[in-house]
Copies of this chain bind each other. A is one copy, B any other.
Amino acid sequence: MLREIKINAPLYEALVQHYHKNPRSFHVPGHRFGGGLQPPWNDYYRDILKLDVTELADTDNLHQAEGVIQEAQQLAADCFKADETYFLVGGSTSGNVAMILAVCNPGDMIIVQRNVHKSVLNGIILAGARAVFLTPQEDEKSGLSTVPSLQDVEDALERHPEVKAVFMSTPNYYGMAVDVASYAELAHRYECALLVDEAHGAHFGFHPAFPASALHAGADAVVQSTHKTLTAMTMGAMLHVKGDRLRKDALRQALAMVQSSSPSYPLMASIDIARAMVDTYGEQLFDGGLNAAEHFKNVMDQKAPAFRYLGEQAADSSLPWRLDPLRAVVWDGTGTLSGYELLKELERQGCWAEMADSKRVVLLFGISASYEDVEALAAVFAEIGKQHGLDTKNQINETRLSVFDQYRYDRISAPVILSRVIPDERSIETVPLYLAANRQSAELVIPYPPGIPVLYQGELITDGIIAVLTNLAEHGAVCQGIADSSLTSLRVYKKG
């Protein structure tokens, strides 16, 4: 019975009901239920614009929710086991920024892993916070980075008792998810909030095959992209809060600062629907996608044996993580095709991947990939293998370029004040990399691979960082968006 009550989507239904009243609109938006849009441009918009309204007595107000939006958010909080859930119309971007604004007053300190989404850095900049960056751990086999070690977080907390929050990102883009329970416990022991960017894990916790969600593990606030792995429209996301380590007034203020004052109703209703789908179907919602993902690997083993993919980790690993089974990370085991080339080849044959790095492509199956989809995908891989003669080539030994571990540089940065001020040419100079020690970097340095920032604008350059960058440059890593992409020189602030 409970389930039957829960399958309501109160916000969506309120929009439908409002439309069915045949209301005459003398308000924004200007298209007036789509009537203003002339053919042929209304082809795809005709239906959705019937729900594209504004704050009315029937439709509540996201920034002061007291009606159907509050109801929808409450149902989401129940579903995701949060104390409070906020719908986000600006994507996980807006949630990440808002979490940091809510916790950090200007000058406050926050611990952050280096491998975070840009929105986290933007949040730190806008908050005027000081960041202590922690180097993430690398998975031994794949070389992919997850989260910093518990020991490094504790050392950083010991070194900086004034820290307000620890910020983690998990799962990473490859679907590797770390259990944050011990991190939550640690943060709370030091009277800090644990904030988690779980953008890629909106489905976590809803099926035994999935990792647990960060909120269940004890995080204080968690951002999830409802559009990425559930069914919301793009930009639809949620912020879940548990406990009272985040001030609610500060959080509400922050959310109002970073989101539109005219939030999109079709977008918000699609978040409501995404939650209703989970409540209605439960585990079954994911069975189809899970079976397809499993089937994909079986077919690949048979038909495209040259390709390898990221598998679950050995149980005895020193760095435990679990794999999101609804995505596949695939690469050419012969080392012939780069990830970028693979992505292009897939596209050429009608299969569009989520992303590529220098080695791998990442593929999402989501909840609706079918057997037919994954068989077609595997057939394309097989075709690519044939075209490039991969099946007759030898598999290469997997060597991994260890980015951070082989040099004993401090995995805990000095506190950095990130600034959005674009450096004045007169205040900076270019120095050879080997002479950059103890200077303040004027650029953000993100070598590819591995795509993790080694140096932030404003960060003090240490000998350890120079060693890491030298190593990366020698192995052919490239940095886009900086003056010297070969990494033989750096732009630093002039002294004094």
Query: Which A residues are within 8 Å of any B CB, using their own CB?
Result: 9, 12, 16, 21-32, 35-38, 41, 43-54, 56-57, 89-94, 97, 101, 105-106, 117-119, 122, 125-126, 128, 202, 225, 227-235, 247, 249-250, 253-254, 256-267, 270, 273, 276-277, 280-281, 344, 347, 350-355, 363-369, 373, 376-377, 420-422
Contacts and interface: CB of A to CB of B under 8 A. Distances in A.
User: What copy number does this chain have within its complex?
Assistant: 2
A368 B25 CA distance: 10
Contact of A38 (B202, B266, B277): B277
A167 to B, nearest CB: 17
B30 A230 contact: yes
Contacts of A277: 37-38, 41
B353 A261 contact: no
Nearest to A272: B41
14 contacts: A9-B41, A21-B350, A24-B351, A28-B227, A28-B234, A30-B230, A31-B231, A45-B273, A52-B233, A118-B261, A126-B257, A233-B264, A235-B264, A253-B420
Contact of A51 (B44, B51, B250): B44
A234 B43 contact: no
Contacts of A355: 27
A228 B29 contact: yes
A79 B257 CA distance: 31
Contacts of A31: 227, 231-233, 366, 368
Contact of A28 (B51, B125, B264, B354): B354
B27 A353 contact: yes
Given A30-B229, A118-B261, A235-B262, 20 more contacts: A12-B41, A24-B376, A26-B352, A27-B363, A28-B234, A29-B232, A29-B233, A31-B227, A31-B231, A32-B368, A41-B277, A45-B270, A53-B234, A90-B90, A91-B262, A105-B420, A118-B256, A122-B257, A125-B257, A235-B267
A106 B421 contact: yes
A41 B279 CA distance: 13
